[in-house]
Amino acid sequence: MTATLIWILVALIAIGVYLSWTAGRLDRLHARIDATRAALDAQLLRRASVAQELATSGVLDPAASIVLYEAAHAARQAEEEQREVAESELSQALRAVFADPQQVEAVREAPGGEAAARELTEAVRRVPMARRFHNDAVGAARRLREHRKVRWFRLAGHAPFPLAFEMDDEPPTALVDRAA
């Protein structure tokens, strides 16, 4: 009788340790999501700031400046629900403004343009990486949260279900080709 109780107790302790380990893993994944989201937000803000600065520098023609400034301003001011759309529109505006390699060369030839073009190139290259890291973390947490043990024992607690950040983040080819 006591041997049976000991085995039941050992099994319950093992299950408890396993569930605790799983809850800790899920908590670490949620912390990783928060960190990658902060990094993504920083990269998106940097890209919008550089684009806005370039639009107001007087290097671009007036039409391109207006398009780029409005898209960058909208991306910086967007509410959370509209953020993905605003950032996608900024990507489209960047591709439209820098579709022509001569536009990139005109920016580079202006005083301080080389540094501005380099900074914009770095910003548009870092956004897809930051988004990929964030979405990978979200995917890992979602896969773990879909397991029955996590749902049955409510190991996720009250944490919101993680959502991926979906946006058009394709960089302008004229910027990327020149930098490569």
Complete DSSP assignment for 122-140: HHHHHHHHHHHHHHHHHHH
Structural domain tally of the chain?
Answer: 1
CA-derived radius of gyration, the chain: 24
DSSP secondary structure, the chain, as one string: -HHHHHHHHHHHHHHHHHHHHHHHHHHHHHHHHHHHHHHHHHHHHHHHHHHHHHHHTT-S-HHHHHHHHHHHHHHHH--GGGHHHHHHHHHHHHHHHTSSHHHHHHHHHSTTHHHHHHHHHHHHHHHHHHHHHHHHHHHHHHHHHTSHHHHHTTTTTTPPPP-------PPPHHHHHHH-
For the segment 164-180, the average pLDDT, to the nearest whole number, is 83
Asked if residue 179 has pLDDT above 70, the reply is no
Asked if residue 20 has pLDDT above 80, the reply is yes
CB 86 within 8 A of CB 75: yes
For the segment 72-84, the average pLDDT, to the nearest whole number, is 96
Q: What local confidence, expressed as pLDDT, does residue 176 receive?
A: 78
Range of the domain at 140: 1-177
> How far, in Å, CA of 131 to CA of 82, rounded?
16
Residue 132 contacts by C-beta under 8 Å, 6 or more apart in sequence? none
For the segment 144-167, the average pLDDT, to the nearest whole number, is 93
CB 154 within 8 A of CB 128: no
Task: Kindly report which listed range (81-85, 126-130, 153-157) carries the lowest average pLDDT score.
Answer: 153-157
The more confidently predicted of residues 36 and 157 is 36
CB 171 within 8 A of CB 125: yes
State the average pLDDT for the chain: 93
Q: Per-residue confidence at 53, pLDDT binned at 50, 70, 90?
A: very high
Instruction: Give the rounded percent of residues in the chain with a pLDDT score beyond 70.
Output: 98
